[in-house]
Amino acid sequence: MKKLSVISAALALVLVAAPTFASDDKRPDHFKAKKSETLQQALDNMREYNKKLEELMHGELTPQKMAEIHQLTYTLEEALQKLDDEVDNLQDVLEEVHLGSEHMDFGKVKSNGKKYLENSGKIVK
């Protein structure tokens, strides 16, 4: 049994470290991330994968846990990138609300305000 754990640990290290030797210039993508194509998917993925990360962080870190953490970070990174893109978009929409309110453009404020509240409401509940 101990031999199996040593082999598992060694395999985990190879999975994590081997791709880094492939290129000094560019970080390789060697695991597939769970897609975050919408804001809702990104938030769902963050909740799910944050929970997985939290569970892996309990107790002592092992080479096997490190390999699992390495793999799940791809999904978290993709989710955070989508969230960042969505927040940038929210800033643009809110700016339209702001400008519309300055110019008493009721239609612009109404449509952009609704869009802003819908999307920001997914983040802040």
Alpha helices for 1-125 (secondary structure H): 2-17, 39-57, 63-102, 106-123
Tokens of 37: 């194509």
Q: What is the pTM of this model?
A: 0.71
Treating both helix axes as pointing N-terminal to C-terminal, what angle do 2-17 and 63-102 enclose, rounded to 10 degrees? Answer: 40
- Note whether 75 and 45 are within 8 A (CB): yes
Read off the pLDDT of residues 21-33 as tens digits, 9 standing for 90 and up: 444 445 555 678 8
- Note whether 12 and 67 are within 8 A (CB): yes
Tokens of 5: 């754990």
Read off the pLDDT of residues 38-93 as tens digits, 9 standing for 90 and up: 999 999 999 999 999 999 999 999 999 999 999 999 999 999 999 999 999 999 99
